[in-house]
Structure formats: C-alpha cells, structure tokens
Structure 1
Amino acid sequence: MTNERRVLIHPDKASLSGSVAARFITKTIDLLEDRDAVNVVLTGGSVGTAVLAAINASPARDSVDWNRVSFWWGDERFVSRNDPERNELQAREALLDHIDVPASQVHPFPSTDDIADIDEAAAAYALELLEAGDGKDYPKFDITFLGVGPDGHIASLFPGQEAVRVTGATVVAVRESPKPPPQRLSLTLPVIRSSDRIWLVLAGSDKASALGLALAGASTDEVPVAGAEGRRRTVFFVDKDAASEVPEYLITPTYY
C-alpha cells in the first residue's frame, strides 16, 4: 500500500477551508460507493472548525449519506461539556448539529461532567474505540483531520512529551499541555497513523517552520507532525503563508 505525501497550497484561509470542504464531500461520497460506512476523525482549532463550517455551507452537503458516517476526535480538552474550548462543542455548532447523523455515530471524548478522573476518561474512550473496532483495538479510520501547532504538535501530542512516544495504548491522558488548558485527552500516534488518509489543514506564517521541518524529515519527538503519515495518503492543505518553507518538489497544485 503506497503512502503519498503531498502539499496543496491555497491563497488564503477562506479558499483553503472551502477547498478542503469540497474535497471532503467528494471523497466521502466516493468512499460510500464502495463500503457500508465511513469513519472520520475530527480536529479542533480555528481552521479545522472553519472547514466544518464550509462543509455545512456547501450546496452539496446533503449529497452525503450522513447516516453511514461516524465521527471521532483526535483529541479533546478535558473540560466541561459546554466549555467553549471544547472541540466537540465547536464541531457541533459548525456542522454536526446541522446534518442527519445519528447520535450513536458521534463519538466525543468524555468531559469532566461525564467522568471526573482523566485516566478513567482515557480508559472509557479506549473502550469505545475497542467496541467499534470489529475485533481490533479501534475502527478503520478513512479520513483523519489534523491541525498543526507552531511548535509542530498534532492532536495533543506535544514536542518532547511522553505522550508522543506512547505505543502501547490507543488513548493517552495529557496532564501538562504547554498550551492551555493543561489537561487533555488524545489518540496516540499509532492510532493516528492507522488512518488511510491523513489531511493536515493549517494556515498562517507561524506554522511555516514546523511544516518545513516536518517535511524535511525532523524527528517525531521534536516535531510530532513529522510522524503524521496515513496508510494511503498524507495531504497538507495549507495557505500561502504556511507554505513559505515547503520544499518545491513536494508541492503538487493538482493533487487530490
């Protein structure tokens, strides 16, 4: 199975969000022609949420059979259910509350309202992954969205922290995130890398260095995004500012 790794550059954040939304709708429809169901992993952040809002605003939104799509998250802030920092809340407001996806197919991480202890919360999500895994530790993920921090972190896997090196678990509890809030839950890197397609969406000049280092082969421990590789394809959807340090040979404007 070949893993292709390419970069698609867009002139600005608005065109970036719209393009990714259109590609997501098209790809999901294509996947559903060949299988009964699709699993998608969502990310948070301003750009990730903008993509979901663009999907919701698309005239083609309801061309997707949302009854056959399940949603998961790559990470979550361990806060109360209605905290505005929570990725789940942002995703629901941007897209999920507006489409006909069954509640049973939306799989948020536990909040502090659900489970007070972060280790128990991590274990609960790991069990949910296992129950959906059809004999494996987690389901087959078709598309995983990821944002990238200026420090190169993905999900809640931060440079130099133990969480980025965990291989013996599917979910990790993060207690000392350098970016607030400090307590978070995250899929581990092996689970992220199990996805057929990883779509990284990032904008802004503050992301350029991390992206350039990742594409140049930096260590995953120092630049976690360097370890983000899907089983089939890895695509970096970026705006012009974020692309300033991308090697020319990796840029493929027509790549899909």
Structure 2
Amino acid sequence: MVTINRVADLEELISSAALKFIDVVAQAQALNGGVHGDGIARVVLTGGGAGIGLLKELRRLDDAANNQGEDFPALRIDWDRIHIFFGDERNVPVSDPDSNEGQAREALLNHVGIPTRHIHGYDLGAISMSSAAQAYEEELREFAPQGFDLHLLGMGGEGHINSLFPHTEAVREQEDIVVAVHDSPKPPAERLTLTLPAIARSKRVWLLVAGEEKAEAAAHVVAGADAEDWPAAGARGLEETVLFLADNAAGALND
C-alpha cells in the first residue's frame, strides 16, 4: 500500500521529506536500531531536482544544528553512523556534472562529517560496466546484507525510477540487485542501477514527485499498475512506501 504525503509544492516537499529523513535516520541510529540492529543507518540516495534539493536542505539543517540556530531540528544525524549508497549512476567520472554521486557530494556529503569509507559509489571508469555491477553488488552484500533503512527515489514522467525504464530488461530483472544498462532512453545511455529486487530490500521507500508532467505516472503508482509499464509502481518498501506528492503532480488524484 502506498501512503500519500500531499504537499503544496516542491519547496514543501523538500522541507517535509528532509525533516522526516532526519527522524528516520535518528531512529536507525538508536541503540540496536536500524535494519541490521547495529545502530547504523543505511540510506540510498537519488538524484533529480527533488533528490538533490533534499540533500541541500539536509546540509542547511545540519549547519543550523551545528550553530544551534532557530532552525535547529529536534533530532540530528550522526554522520559517523550512516552508510550512503546510490540508486543508480551514469557511466561518467564523479567529477562529471552528470554524476549522481558528484552532485550528492557537492550538495551535502562534502560538507558534513561522514567518513569517506561510508560513501559507496559505483567507481565507474576503471573497469567494465558488467564488472562494476558485480563489484557493487558485492559491496552491497558486505555493507548492507540485510538491506536498507531508507531508499529515496525520484520519478520521471514515464514512471522510471533509478535507471529502470518501462519495457526494458532492467525493470524486468528478478534476481540481480545491480545491473548494467547500455541503452537508456534518457542520455547518457550507459548506467548502472539498483533493481526492483534491491529496492524491495528497503524498510522504507520514499518517492519524491513534483511536476505536472508526472501526474499520470503518480496515478499509476497509487493504482498499483504493472511495473513493466510504470516502473515506479513496482517500488515497495518492506514496512512503508510513501509518495511525497506536490499538488501539481496530483492530476487525476484530485478528481
């Protein structure tokens, strides 16, 4: 079942999700907390306007916490006890503007006290795509063998999530948790992506959706459409699936 968290616009979506993000991570970092019971949060980040906007807001709140300003949240993230993963990555260096990891580092990760070894990127460029996919799957099994506390997802107008596009082999994958994509309809063509089975290992899955062009896909997510047609409809958390939905993306849900 998908829970809808309706918000007025992208700004409210980012603000609401950021505060809830801090709450979820703080819960996971409690004694014996998190899906692994070790008090370490494991989170999968996403790119896009909402995803990167969320990271920028987390940075702002972290700065406020450090300065104990008026915006100081009730809870805060212990950056020593969080592992960061990425839902997908383009086959470009981290220094490339298209890199999801690079954008996340610029927006948040380079500005907080997270240990470098806790940021699990795809390390593309030095090895083949298939080897990189295998290496990342092994990394997930080592550092997140029980799955994730939270998986953030953006969504395209055709319903794609990560690099899982409609009617592709990647969205139909049922076993591997990481696959290489060589023919993404959205450039660049070469990418690595977590699959629906990987997403299904997440305690919480949050979809961050704003924009009129995404209204039809959002309606299919709520209706539980076939994931091959609308990949976002196949994203489900073990305990929670939340659609953070801006009014301009509500579309038919207003009827």
TM-score in terms of structure 2 length: 0.90
Q: Distance in 1 between matches of 2:233 and 2:12?
A: 25
Aligned to 1:156: 163
**Counterpart residue identity of residue 94, structure 2:** R
Q: Distance in 2 between matches of 1:81 and 1:108?
A: 9
Q: Distance in 2 between matches of 1:231 and 1:154?
A: 18
Q: 1:212, 1:247 within 8 Å by CA — same for their partners in 2?
A: no
Aligned to 1:84: 97
Aligned to 1:217: 224
User: The residue matched to 1:85 in structure 2 has which SS?
Assistant: coil
Out of 119, 135, 139, the position equivalent to 1:124 is 135
RMSD between superposed Cα atoms in Å? 1.5
**1:27-42, aligned counterparts within 5 Å?**
27-34=24-31, 35=33, 36-42=39-45
Q: 2:163, 2:184 within 8 Å by CA — same for their partners in 1?
A: yes
Out of 48, 60, 65, the position equivalent to 1:45 is 48
Residue 247 of structure 1, CA deviation: 6.9
User: The residue matched to 1:176 in structure 2 has which SS?
Assistant: coil
**1:48-63, aligned counterparts within 5 Å?**
48-58=51-61, 59-60=64-65, 63=76
**Counterpart residue identity of residue 29, structure 1:** A
User: The residue matched to 2:138 in structure 1 has which SS?
Assistant: helix
Does 1:147 find its partner at 2:154? yes
**1:96-115, aligned counterparts within 5 Å?**
96-112=109-125, 114-115=126-127
Does 1:200 find its partner at 2:218? no
**Counterpart residue identity of residue 52, structure 1:** L
Deviations 1:94-140 (A, max 9, x none): 1111111111111011221x32x11111111111112224xxxx442
Q: 58-67 or 46-55: which moved more?
A: 58-67
Q: 1:215, 1:247 within 8 Å by CA — same for their partners in 2?
A: no
Does 1:6 find its partner at 2:3? yes
**Counterpart residue identity of residue 190, structure 1:** P
Aligned to 2:69: none
**Counterpart residue identity of residue 244, structure 2:** F
Q: Distance in 1 between matches of 2:143 and 2:57?
A: 28
Q: Distance in 2 between matches of 1:103 and 1:69?
A: 11
Q: 2:224, 2:234 within 8 Å by CA — same for their partners in 1?
A: no
Aligned to 1:69: 82
Q: Distance in 2 between matches of 1:20 and 1:42?
A: 13
User: The residue matched to 2:97 in structure 1 has which SS?
Assistant: coil
Deviations 1:146-191 (A, max 9, x none): 0011010111010000111112211100000000000010011111
Count, aligned residues: 239
Residue 224 of structure 1, CA deviation: 0.5
Aligned to 1:93: 106
**Counterpart residue identity of residue 29, structure 2:** L
TM-score in terms of structure 1 length: 0.89
Aligned to 1:26: 23
Identity across aligned pairs (percent)?
41
Q: 2:42, 2:84 within 8 Å by CA — same for their partners in 1?
A: yes
